[in-house]
Structure 1
């Protein structure tokens, strides 16, 4: 049997070896974590929040050695112009992607198909001119999307159908002239929408989107000013403030277009289709003028002038009524002040009149006694 001193010495050695083994294991785990999150050359990395920052380096391509567990990738202020289709295929854990201030002019259809955890996408200040309707098909968790300061002329219908969690959308400073409300109806969680600084044409093509904007504002959504560029009668005016009388002619145009389509049962014509040639043989017959291609109905400024005239007349009538009410109120005040002055003077004269009546009564009593 070992003595007590030897047993105590053995236990102390065992504890020291155990502590050394624990420290060695922690050091090895830290080295493995650092090697697992290897930072690309010339980029800045933060292993704590798994962020890779390659901004402002003048890079024309995305590094290929980005760690697979990266959650935030920043690539601002570079010279990126082309995105290969599989550049983000190994970054399935990515949550935030910022490609702002580059030279991107197009985006491949499946460029974001592997980013199922993406919640924020920044594409601000590029040269993107068109978007594929299936571009965001696999980013159902996306909450913030910035497409401002690009060259977008239209937003394809169905591009936002798979974004039920989107809360913030920016389309500022593009070349948009009209929008379709059907494109924005699937965005049930949208709270902030920016559409300013676009050449909006406030005609029938924007009427349905105006209704959607009013509904969006009614349910608490925030939207910046949608200032009209055309027609000139509405230039600079917010689309939401345009009276609905401006669009009364739209239903008439729809009826005319539908009737034109129903009546035109002949073969489809093109803009450059040649006129029918006359037959050389046989007697010349009078040919009825052909209907030809129906021209697109243009915006009718007459209706705009009528609507503006209606608003002006209503304003003039309201102004006249207000002036009459002010005049009546002033007359009432003057009349009340005059009557008050008259009553004050009447009260001052009543005691004098009372003394004269008393003297007449005393004289009557003296004469009756005599």
Structure 2
């Protein structure tokens, strides 16, 4: 038995010598995990075992990711890089990780993300960018990021987010926005429309709380009425509104008419609300009028159908009497006519 255990230990040692385990890290072959957390590392460790699927690098001082950092671990599925000092992400930082599913980059110093950063991650499902210093995000996270189901950008410095970015993630189920200095002006109008549609489809979100302008500070973006955006330029509000199925054309025209009457200039730099905004329940009133009109139309159609049916029935009845009953009366028997004739005599 001792000889058997010795043989197994020698085999394990041989495996480590062949595949290698990074210095200061712990390798767990059964779970294919390399544990390098809390090691004071400043770079991604080299000589990672090629079969590694889980790499734990949190709580270090890593400040950059070279393009070839992970080429030695092509089967990686979970990459934990939280609580480091990463300031930026190069477009090829995750090159070769075509099987990566979970990427955690929370609690770093990232302030900018390029639009091709995650293009080499076609299987990515969870992307956590929370607790960084991100000022803005590109219009796309990459051409192969359609499988992302969870996106977290909370605790950053985002003031807006392009609607096209969120629309490029068709499988998104959870998106986290909180604790960002969101500007609830014309620039966030498209995001508001997308978020409403996302929640309607069953998506999960922690919501967007406005930071500016001052009169909307602390308010939930979803509760800011559409009428408050009546002063926005056509390209920012009315054109977007035209593509959203919840709003009727009459509503759009009324907002546009009010905008041109009360403001000679069609543009407004900070998109402040009008002094006398329309009531919040205007949409409900329009919906009520539309529904009432439809019901009245149906009732009128039913009455018209009944009238047509009555007229047709009367015409058929009259024709029947004319063709069958009248000849019978005119050709009656002499006995039936005799009392009438005798009375005349």
- Which string of whole-angstrom CA distances, capped at 9 and with x for unpartnered residues, describes residues 344-368 of structure 1? xxxxxxxxxxxxxxxxxxxxxxxxx
Partner of 1:154 in structure 2? Answer: 136
Q: Out of 210, 213, 222, which is 1:240 matched to?
A: 222
Structure 2 counterparts to residues 1-370 of structure 1, below 5 A: 32-252=14-234, 297-303=268-274, 305-307=275-277, 310-311=279-280
Deviation at 1:68, TM superposition (A): 1.6
Cα distance change on mapping 1:27 and 1:149 into 2, 3 Å: closer
Using the alignment, how far apart are the partners of 1:108 and 1:51 within structure 2?
Answer: 25
Q: Contact 1:109–1:135 at 8 Å: present in 2 too?
A: yes
TM-score, normalised to structure 1, is 0.63
1:300 deviates by 3.9
Give how far 1:306 is off.
2.4
Would the aligned equivalents of 1:121 and 1:144 in 2 still touch at CA under 8 Å?
yes
CA distance in 2, matches of 1:161, 1:100: 25
Distance 1:161 1:208 in 2: 22
What is the total number of aligned residue pairs between the two structures?
A: 258
Once the 2 structures are TM-superposed, how far is the Cα of residue 311 of structure 1 from its aligned partner?
A: 4.5
The Cα offsets for residues 167-205 of structure 1, whole Å up to 9 and x where unpaired, read as 111000111111111111121111110011000000111
Q: Per-residue displacement from partner, 1:287-333 (whole Å, max 9, x unpaired)?
A: xxxxxxx9973124342x423x734999xxxxxxxxxxxxxxxxxxx
1:38 positional shift: 3.1
Q: Which residue of structure 1 aligns with residue 315 of structure 2?
A: none
| Backbone CA RMSD of aligned residues | 3.1
Aligned structure 1 segments of 4 or more residues deviating by more than 6 angstroms: 22-28
Instruction: For residue 112 of structure 1, report the CA deviation from its aligned partner.
Output: 0.8
Per the TM alignment, residue 119 of structure 1 is displaced from its structure 2 partner at its CA by 0.4
> Is the 8 Å Cα contact of residues 67 and 95 (structure 2) preserved in structure 1?
no
Provide the rounded CA distance (Å) in 1 between the counterparts of 2:99 and 2:76. Answer: 6
- When residues 26 and 54 of structure 1 are mapped into structure 2, their CA distance, relative to the original with a 3 A threshold, is closer
Q: Unaligned stretches of 5+ in structure 2?
A: 239-264, 284-345
**Cα distance in 2 for residues equivalent to 1:110 and 1:255:** 37
Give, in whole Å, the separation in 2 of the partners of 1:36 and 1:144: 33
Q: Deviations over 1:8-52 (max 9, x none)?
A: xxxxxxxxxxxxxx9999787655544444322221221111101
Aligned residue in 2 for 1:335: none
Which has more radius of gyration? 1
Q: How big is the shift at 1:160?
A: 4.5
The residue aligned with 2:252 is: none
**Using a 3 Å threshold, how does the CA distance of structure 1 residues 254 and 123 change in structure 2: closer, same or farther?**
closer
